[in-house]
């Protein structure tokens, strides 16, 4: 099946052609583990998961590397400010190492909640300091570096003619649009490869190097770890669109002099999840996490469903109204899949019909990850009376592998819950509610319903009378 992706470098849709047949190597920018990841961050990780699942369903062997940034990411992309790990340690009165472990564990919990397949490799920047130093030494030997005394070793972007090509800018445009701070930089776009530790205090994370005690700049870790684990050339590099003009442009500049061109064949970037105030960020300290949604009673799969209703290359607005609507849509599909499970009986899968729907859905997602269109096909499949229950169920098993939405898992869980009989005290409350409604005592009926709800049960009014259902965990 043809796979097409939008390549940021060429600014067009391109047919994917792997470096090795039936193999794909891709690198995705991972979390900086100085704080919890907000739900805007999680959109990128879900998108990368869809990319991976699409390749797997197309028969590819996927080697996925995602870094854990636990050192060197400064609070400004312009190489100024505090290291985010040191800042997080000061904020919470913990060591930088403890902060890294705590928020790495938090991140893994969140991706597990969202049914994201773990990367093949999830390297920590602090475990690859020798590789980062070795890359800087190579760049130094090639003449791409210079030292700012008391500050660090910098990359001279004037030596790389294609700097800024990923963002559609040339070096002369970038020079004209930026100011050089009075810190010794030769060019405004130059960036730190190695930062020297301050002389007046000891950092929690610092290492010996040929240039002095210090720590790596943020950008060098991705080049070092991707080359170590994927080789000098690999297929795809992904990340948020905010990385295009600085982080990823810097990665290209420091990598291609070492490996030659091209370093990466396809650059794929994800748009932001927007709140009513604009792009979600941690700068204000006020943001939503996956755990926040869970504590508010939302199924993480409903949030994943909401994300797939948009396209990765377009901004997506988040609101609780939108999440409520997505929750209702997701639950509706679960209910219908549960009905398929109970009605399939001894039916057999129609292979020809299965192949037709399978190929239609997979082809849609393979065409630049059009998940929203795939969800429309899923609704059409459920309505198609010519497809029997057994065939639909097998298709939903494929859909769950492709989109990771766990429809079949949730449907079976729903059926298991519905088979649990309510205790006598809950039944009695339901009877009292029926009586209150018959007497038009709506205030009492609502009070009883809330009491049933707080006990972990739902009461649903049907034409045959109230039905008491155990809540899903």
Give the CATH number of the domain where residue 344 resides: 1.20.120.1910
The answer to whether residue 306 is domain-embedded is yes
Hey, what are 471's tokens? 């809540």
Cα separation, 173 vs 165, in Å, equals 11
The answer to whether residue 95 is domain-embedded is yes
- Residue 406: pLDDT above 70? yes
What CATH number does residue 49 fall under?
3.40.50.620
Same domain membership, residue 389 and residue 265: no
Same domain membership, residue 205 and residue 59: yes
Question: Higher-confidence residue: 140 or 92?
Answer: 140
- Residue 362: pLDDT above 50? yes
* Range 138-144 average pLDDT: 98
- Residue 389: pLDDT above 50? yes
Q: According to the model, what pLDDT value does residue 177 have?
A: 44
Q: According to the model, what pLDDT value does residue 279 have?
A: 58
Q: What's the pLDDT band for 335 if we cut at 50, 70, 90? A: very high
- Residue 303: pLDDT above 50? yes
Same domain membership, residue 370 and residue 340: yes
Question: Higher-confidence residue: 77 or 148?
Answer: 148
Q: According to the model, what pLDDT value does residue 281 have?
A: 61
* Range 113-132 average pLDDT: 98
Taking only the tens place, the pLDDT of each residue in 183-198 is 789 999 999 999 999 8
Lowest mean pLDDT among 121-135, 329-343, 390-404, 419-433: 419-433
- Residue 459: pLDDT above 90? no
Lowest mean pLDDT among 76-80, 282-286, 319-323: 282-286
Q: What's the whole-model pTM score?
A: 0.89
Same domain membership, residue 208 and residue 62: yes
> Prior bond to 262 cis, omega within 30?
yes
Q: What total of structural domains would you count in the chain?
A: 3
The answer to whether residue 63 is domain-embedded is yes
Same domain membership, residue 412 and residue 445: no
In degrees and rounded to multiples of 5, residue 61 shows phi and psi of -90, 115
By residue range, what is the domain housing residue 359? 298-418
Taking only the tens place, the pLDDT of each residue in 175-230 is 544 455 557 899 999 999 999 998 888 888 899 999 999 999 989 999 999 999 99
Taking only the tens place, the pLDDT of each residue in 319-331 is 999 999 999 999 9
Cα separation, 368 vs 371, in Å, equals 9
């Amino acid at each position: 099946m043809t796979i097409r992706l939008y390549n940021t470098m060429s600014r067009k849709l391109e047919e994917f052609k792997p470096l090795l047949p039936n193999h794909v190597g891709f690198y995705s920018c991972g979390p900086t583990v100085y704080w919890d990841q907000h739900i805007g961050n999680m959109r990128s990780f879900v998108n990368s998961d869809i990319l991976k699942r699409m390749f797997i369903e197309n028969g590819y062997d996927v080697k996925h590397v995602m870094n854990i940034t636990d050192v060197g990411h400064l609070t400004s992309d312009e190489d100024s400010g505090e290291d985010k790990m040191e800042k997080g340690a000061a904020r919470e009165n913990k060591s930088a190492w403890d902060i890294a472990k705590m928020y790495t564990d938090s991140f893994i919990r969140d991706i597990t909640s969202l049914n994201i397949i773990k990367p093949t490799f999830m390297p920590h920047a602090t475990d690859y300091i020798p590789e980062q130093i070795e890359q800087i030494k190579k760049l130094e030997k090639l003449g791409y570096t210079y030292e700012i005394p008391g500050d660090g070793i910098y990359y001279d972007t004037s030596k790389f003619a294609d700097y800024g090509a990923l963002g559609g800018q040339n070096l002369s445009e970038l020079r004209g649009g930026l100011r050089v701070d009075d810190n010794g930089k030769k060019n405004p776009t130059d960036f730190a490869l190695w930062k020297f530790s301050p002389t007046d205090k000891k950092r929690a994370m610092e290492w010996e190097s040929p240039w002095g005690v210090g720590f790596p700049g943020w950008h060098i870790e991705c080049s070092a770890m991707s080359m170590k684990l994927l080789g000098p050339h690999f297929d795809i590099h992904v990340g948020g669109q905010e990385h295009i003009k600085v982080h990823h442009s810097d990665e290209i500049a420091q990598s291609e002099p070492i490996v030659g061109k091209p370093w990466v064949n396809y650059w794929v970037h994800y748009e932001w999840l927007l709140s009513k105030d604009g792009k979600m960020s941690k700068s204000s300290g006020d943001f939503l996490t996956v755990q926040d949604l869970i504590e508010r009673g939302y199924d993480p799969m409903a949030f994943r469903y909401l994300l797939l209703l948009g396209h990765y290359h377009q901004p997506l607005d988040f609101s609780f109204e939108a999440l409520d609507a997505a929750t209702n849509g997701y639950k509706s599909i679960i209910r219908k899949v549960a009905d398929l499970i109970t009605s399939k009986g001894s039916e057999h899968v129609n292979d020809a019909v299965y192949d037709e729907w399978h190929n239609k859905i997979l082809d849609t997602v393979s065409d630049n990850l059009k998940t929203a269109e795939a969800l429309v096909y899923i609704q059409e499949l459920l309505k198609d009376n010519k497809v029997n229950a057994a065939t639909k169920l097998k298709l939903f098993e494929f859909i769950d592998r492709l989109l990771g939405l766990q429809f079949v898992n949730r449907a079976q869980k729903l059926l298991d819950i519905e088979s649990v009989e309510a205790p006598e005290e809950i039944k009695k409350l339901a009877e009292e509610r029926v009586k209150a409604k018959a007497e038009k005592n709506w205030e009492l009926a609502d009070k009883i319903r809330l009491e049933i709800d707080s006990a972990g049960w739902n009461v649903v009014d049907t034409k045959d009378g109230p039905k008491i259902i155990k809540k899903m965990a």
